[in-house]
Structure 1
């Protein structure tokens, strides 16, 4: 019997890379009653370090829940459940009391780059990838653990468990160490076909299964939130918690991109291109990931490190004076910088930018990659340089899409989500680069919406995900501008050539930077 009449609301909690986002969603029609976000910093004292404070993130999540419950102004007993979304690839070592022995080592941390190279060359890296679906890269918790054996031997030896940020929050709230199949499948330690920890990967990582959380389905339900935490958040301790999935796969679900030929592209801090299949599917060339949504839903695709963070770099480093000018005019700095970019034609006058400032993931999986302006001349202005950065991010997305096409076929439609989807200029640029129709669902925070739909399924309120189509209203559609598309068709192969010509030099400059920074 349906509980929605008595408890019509779902609380979606999305623990992202830069902020915790919460939504209160009406389960009958997907209407967002309220939303809130709380940001937290990333510590980058060196070029290869990217860590966060897990306790600070816990506080941000708690505060974001409390704030959204106040905004939504609904009784606590009207919540059907809390459903979770989370960023992937993080690693925290904890002691027996659950206290962190390390910061959260995020996906952007590249200290394990040499370890990844060794695994690829000296061990069975390809076979491990084919079983686990996570490319061999320093982002992977598997590679981090192998690195930690040598770099942090005492912590590696003495840690009680190695967990991700969602597991850390779950343990605080529910007192359990569980990890959903989706997050587990992004660790490089999880066998996709058997849905259990991979024995060979564990041996190389130097750990046993008991030092990891217990894998559970993404629709696993927990009860018994710690009373003090529940009170602070304004919810009942008896409110069920649905473990949920990773933000990437939930973005596909929340944007309605879970059918053949419909892809999801999300660009937030980073970015990704994803398609859904009915069974695990790995790339013989090791370029793409394969992560679980449910036992019969798998998401194949590739992530890039340098998405919206590149626009932030433009604002804070390349175009600080222009950003300030935008503020003086009463505009959002990003809107003003976008106007400058739009003032020059597609192709930026032959200026190409490789936006690889944080190394890169798919399809190159090269942590040593670095940013490059190519073709810069005296004729180019700051506006050309800004536009070239934005185009460079789209070239990156195109590179991943090209690899994905070889595995699952051409897309018929692309659904856009994430912060970039708020910009009409960026959306149209992606349609022009890809040459594919782009649609923008009216719910931009697709991961939270996907978490809510998964919560309904877990609580037995729906039998499948078809109802998401009623939640996701079709928004703006972008069709390629043929003239711009023709320009980008000429420049994307050149972009690829520039990258490959510099692959060896990237290693040399990264080594130099490691010595200097």
Structure 2
């Protein structure tokens, strides 16, 4: 083993982290930058691709400042990337409009039309997705063709955000299966683009990137880009994976049945499968993994982005106090939640601010507070939100179990894993031990492992995990809270089911 380093670029929904790792998993240097989502119309969520690019550039500049002499040791890099975010580009690879972010729901009418054309059973068998949703790029491609035809006509290739960045760095147009799965125009079984769906969208396969395996070398970074990003032109750019697949790798949760939750802007939930199977009930999504020829149950829901909303809209005093004390604002929010008893004194939240994914699969669902009284405080809101997200995790633990995948523990990853209060809540709600690792930014570490495999620093992904991942803390369920949370979870499920007709009625309003 040499002493070279590997670089990870973890492109999340609201922030980017760049991290330089030694091949032992030790972080040499890292930096994080937040960026703002644009909402130009109801249901629309966008980011200009230059915001992504300049954030990566500025983030890397800070990494190089911290890394000193080790910046020249970079053998390769890979990305951990958000899924579904769509970028149409022209023949020169220039983005023709802002990226349409995965949270965007503008294509509801198009998704309904595609759902009518492709029965759910066929969609699930072909793509692994139980239901056609406006989230999926297939619906957004159809929307673009109808609402921005001049953009569609000029589009040479439809790329996902990882594909776009790989192309900008290397000039090569490639994607990989963990991101391609949820486009709903990639066939999970054949690992090729699905002709019937492309026909429905009016898109030829030659307007899509080539498919490679996660961790595959893509190409050397282009000289001009190397200069801009502070890289050596010999640096090899490797295919990464969906951020949550990277998280499962970086959290060491890749054995069959391993359950991981990664709380960043979204709560993303993954469980590695023994093969390319499906949920017999047709409820749980199946994705290609960041490990070649491996598959996983995977779903997600709004998580940290809802906590960020709560922080920004209602917690300005806490933000200021945290800044003055040199603390993270989210640590202060955790302190607030810790001061409220389990059950939040009767306050219950559905955290579906942007719709609900599996097992509900309801893009019309919205956030709800039930039981609000004059006794409730800001701290109760924080506690209720943390508990609501814990209920989302439990819903999926139970759905996976019904599909034949029994979980023994939860690997907690991402920024949310830093909150001891939140992880104890999760353990109490699910009744499972919650395990954190010493490298909580598992998505970045997973991308670094993929880069290490791509340039030969590790012989395999399993070898990379053995060399880098270590357990930090285990939160055991508190039996004193079991009965209370069983009752609250039942109310959570009943509340959602009672409101389904109301969600549909609201969505149908002009």
TM-score (norm 2): 0.94
Distance 1:67 1:323 in 2: 24
Partner of 1:469: 466
- From 210, 214, 227, the equivalent of 2:210 is 214
Partner of 2:95: 100
**1:53 aligned onto 2:53:** no
Partner of 1:63: 58
- From 370, 389, 392, the equivalent of 1:396 is 392
Question: Does the 8 Å CA contact 1:293/1:299 hold for their aligned counterparts?
Answer: no
Distance 2:340 2:61 in 1: 45
- From 432, 435, 441, the equivalent of 1:439 is 435
Give the secondary-structure state (helix, strand or coil) at the position aligned to 1:466: helix
Partner of 1:158: 154
Partner of 2:30: 35
Question: Does the 8 Å CA contact 1:126/1:286 hold for their aligned counterparts?
Answer: no
Which has the higher mean CA deviation after the structures are superposed, 111-120 or 266-275? Answer: 111-120
Which has the higher mean CA deviation after the structures are superposed, 247-256 or 121-130? Answer: 121-130
Partner of 1:117: 112
Over the aligned positions, Cα root-mean-square deviation in angstroms equals 2.0
Distance 1:328 1:219 in 2: 42
Partner of 1:339: 335
**1:427 aligned onto 2:423:** yes
Distance 2:113 2:490 in 1: 30
Question: Does the 8 Å CA contact 2:48/2:98 hold for their aligned counterparts?
Answer: yes
Q: How do 1:286-435 and structure 2 match up within 5 A?
A: 286-304=283-301, 306-321=302-317, 323-324=319-320, 332-435=328-431
Distance 1:285 1:185 in 2: 16
Query: Over residues 321-366 of structure 1, what are the superposed CA-to-partner deviations in whole Å (9 max), with x where a residue is unaligned?
Result: 5555666777544333322222221111222111122222222222
Partner of 2:251: 255
Question: Does the 8 Å CA contact 1:281/1:300 hold for their aligned counterparts?
Answer: no
Partner of 1:232: 228
Give the secondary-structure state (helix, strand or coil) at the position aligned to 1:218: coil
Question: Does the 8 Å CA contact 2:349/2:370 hold for their aligned counterparts?
Answer: yes
Distance 1:480 1:156 in 2: 52
Deviation of 1:223 after TM superposition, in Å, equals: 2.6
Give the secondary-structure state (helix, strand or coil) at the position aligned to 1:73: helix
Query: Over residues 431-481 of structure 1, what are the superposed CA-to-partner deviations in whole Å (9 max), with x where a residue is unaligned?
Result: 111100111001011011111222222233433333313422211110001
Is the alpha carbon distance of 1:70 and 1:196 closer, same or farther for their aligned partners in structure 2, counting shifts above 3 Å?
same
Partner of 1:202: 198
**1:486 aligned onto 2:466:** no
Distance 2:407 2:459 in 1: 27
Partner of 2:83: 88
Question: Does the 8 Å CA contact 2:198/2:204 hold for their aligned counterparts?
Answer: yes
Is the alpha carbon distance of 1:261 and 1:223 closer, same or farther for their aligned partners in structure 2, counting shifts above 3 Å?
closer
Partner of 2:167: 171
- From 228, 251, 273, the equivalent of 1:277 is 273
* Unmatched 5+ stretches in structure 1: none
Question: Does the 8 Å CA contact 2:336/2:379 hold for their aligned counterparts?
Answer: yes
Give the secondary-structure state (helix, strand or coil) at the position aligned to 1:264: strand
**1:183 aligned onto 2:179:** yes
Question: Does the 8 Å CA contact 1:82/1:455 hold for their aligned counterparts?
Answer: yes
- From 493, 506, 510, the equivalent of 1:509 is 506
TM-score (norm 1): 0.93
Deviation of 1:175 after TM superposition, in Å, equals: 0.9
Question: Does the 8 Å CA contact 1:287/1:365 hold for their aligned counterparts?
Answer: no
Distance 1:22 1:446 in 2: 12
Partner of 1:72: 67
Distance 1:323 1:31 in 2: 30
